[in-house]
């Protein structure tokens, strides 16, 4: 193999320009065809999209050796890559990543009704040669990748709470990578859905909005635990403008709906989702998007993977709750300001909570909030610990990886967004206070 590595031509393997592929039949007849998608796997392997049962496919199965001609989308530098066919994958992380990227390519070229990924053909790279041709200057990098990773890591390492960690992650992507629209979603291990806990750059934050596992770029990245990117706008992986979670499924006669608008761009042209993992467990997804085509190259993906790894370790650390002394119920009536009572309605069927008729939260976070306000009205309690919540069987927290701290952050941010006279304030590691400014009227609904 020549001195060139596959990483040196990685920019030519992002789907911007079709790849030319030369194959040869078993009896020596050559064939040249365009391949929609060439995909970087590692320094010794690449993958090509298998879409059609054509002459190229026949030749590869008969004679595994082939040559590719790839073109850098900016410098116009051609490279010839000699490859050898190994196998075809029809499921798994690599296949799903290529399927998502191909959907963007198909939409961009007007071939959405024609392109269909049958499989990912894996090839061993045997040699790479730079072709003698006129080229354009290499563009200046948008950011220094190593510096971005270092500065993001330093910022995240200074965080002492999950709330700080989430904010630092999004600010780092903006400051060091130039990302304008991003969000962090956490996995609910019980429902196997992803819920938004932090976002930046959107008209509405979408805190609490949910995505199903396998839905869109985010859901596929979570399900397959692999980065997934789209470089062009496509309807195949686009989310609806508002993801609704109706109470009518569990309460048919109910007219109210639990509706948190999805914060994402209405017409994104580039999207990149990276799984957040720790100790082999999926915790959530780090997601960025842009209105520009081909906004996120492999450099951005590499930085996001590194940041997501640091974020995952930090999330795990913040979940660790040292044993805390339980707070005893306070005596006497709670001290609150006057005013009309704030009506809080709780639906036991799915934990949904409404404040003065407006939807706030549901699920485990809703059950936590309902416990807090009940203890407040019944016993005057304002001080709570994470430990007592974990020990409460009525909350439905899973035995392993309960993400309690993330649920509290979600609840805290939803209360702040609604400007309610109820706030949750951290008072220490594993401790928080319920701050209530108006009398409460609690209503339990079936």
- What are the distances in angstroms from CA 362 to CA 180, 211, 352? 29, 14, 4
User: Residue ranges of the domains in the chain?
Assistant: 6-130, 146-234+261-319, 342-444
pTM: 0.84
CA-to-CA distance for 97 and 216, rounded, in angstroms? 11
> Which of the following CATH numbers is that of domain 146-234+261-319: 3.30.450.40, 3.30.465.10, 3.40.50.150, 3.40.50.80?
3.30.450.40
- Residues of the chain short of pLDDT 50, as ranges, are 1, 239-257, 322-333
Res 51: pLDDT: 83
Strand order in the sheet with 422-428: 383-385, 431-436, 422-428
Res 16: pLDDT: 74
DSSP state of 176: I
Task: Take residue 369 and report the two structure tokens written for it.
Answer: 């909030």
Task: Take residue 374 and report the two structure tokens written for it.
Answer: 């009940």
Res 433: pLDDT: 94
User: Which class would CATH give 342-444?
Assistant: mainly alpha
Res 320: pLDDT: 56
CA-to-CA distance for 263 and 5, rounded, in angstroms? 40
pLDDT tens sequence across 149-196: 999 999 999 999 999 999 999 999 999 999 999 999 999 988 899 999
CA-to-CA distance for 89 and 115, rounded, in angstroms? 17
Res 401: pLDDT: 67
DSSP state of 8: G
User: Which class would CATH give 6-130?
Assistant: mainly beta
Res 350: pLDDT: 83
Task: Using the CB atoms, write b or e for 317-333: b if 16+ within 10 Å.
Answer: ebbebeeeeebeeeeee
CA-to-CA distance for 63 and 38, rounded, in angstroms? 19
pLDDT tens sequence across 388-419: 998 898 887 876 667 889 999 999 999 999 88
Residues 6+ apart with CB under 8 A from 129: 2, 4, 79, 80
Task: Using the CB atoms, write b or e for 390-416: b if 16+ within 10 Å.
Answer: eeeeebebeeebbbbbbbbbbbbbbbe
Helix axes 216-224, 93-108, angle to 10 degrees: 160
CA-to-CA distance for 403 and 187, rounded, in angstroms? 8
CA-to-CA distance for 20 and 243, rounded, in angstroms? 41
Nearest Cα residue to 33 out of 9, 67, 74, 63:
67
* Alpha helices (H) in 1-92, listed in sequence order: 55-62
Kindly report the length of the chain: 446
């Amino acid at each position: 193999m020549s001195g060139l590595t596959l990483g040196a031509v990685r920019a030519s393997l992002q789907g911007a320009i079709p790849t030319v592929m030369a194959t040869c039949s078993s009896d020596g007849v050559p064939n040249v065809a365009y391949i929609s998608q060439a995909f970087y796997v590692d320094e010794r392997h690449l993958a090509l999209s298998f879409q059609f049962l054509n002459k190229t496919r026949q030749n590869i199965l008969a004679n595994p050796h082939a040559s590719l001609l790839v073109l850098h989308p900016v410098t116009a530098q051609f490279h010839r890559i000699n490859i050898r066919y190994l196998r075809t994958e029809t499921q798994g992380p690599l296949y799903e990543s290529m399927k998502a990227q191909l959907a963007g390519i198909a939409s961009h070229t007007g071939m959405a009704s024609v392109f269909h990924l049958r499989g990912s053909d894996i090839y061993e790279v045997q040699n790479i040669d730079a072709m003698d041709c006129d080229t354009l200057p290499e563009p200046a990098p948008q950011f220094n990748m190593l510096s971005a990773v270092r500065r993001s890591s330093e910022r995240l390492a200074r965080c002492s709470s999950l709330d700080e960690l989430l904010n630092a992650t999004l600010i780092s992507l903006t400051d060091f990578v130039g990302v304008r629209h991003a969000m962090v979603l956490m996995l609910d291990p019980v429902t196997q859905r992803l819920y938004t806990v932090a976002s930046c750059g959107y008209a509405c934050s979408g805190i609490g909005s949910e995505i199903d596992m396998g839905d869109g770029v985010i859901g596929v990245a979570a399900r397959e635990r692999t980065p997934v990117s789209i470089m062009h706008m496509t309807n195949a992986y686009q989310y609806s403008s508002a993801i609704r979670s109706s109470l009518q499924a569990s309460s048919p006669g109910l007219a109210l709906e639990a509706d948190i608008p999805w914060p994402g761009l209405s017409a994104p042209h580039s999207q990149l989702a990276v799984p957040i993992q720790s100790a082999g467990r999926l915790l959530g997804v780090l997601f960025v998007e842009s209105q520009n085509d081909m906004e996120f190259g492999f450099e951005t993906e590499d930085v996001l993977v590194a940041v997501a790894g640091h974020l995952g370790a930090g999330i795990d650390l913040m979940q660790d709750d040292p044993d805390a002394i339980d707070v005893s119920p306070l005596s006497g009536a709670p001290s609150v300001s006057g005013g009309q009572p704030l009506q809080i309605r709780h639906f036991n069927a799915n934990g949904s909570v409404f404040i003065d008729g407006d939807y706030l939260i549901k699920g485990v976070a809703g059950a936590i909030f309902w416990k807090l306000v009940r203890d407040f009205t019944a016993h005057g309690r304002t001080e709570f610990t994470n430990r007592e919540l974990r020990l409460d069987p009525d909350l439905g927290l899973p035995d392993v990886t309960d993400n309690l701290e993330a649920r509290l952050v979600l609840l805290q941010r939803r209360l702040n967004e609604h400007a309610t006279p109820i706030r949750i304030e951290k008072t220490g590691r594993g401790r928080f206070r319920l701050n209530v400014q108006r009398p409460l009227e609690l209503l339990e609904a079936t």
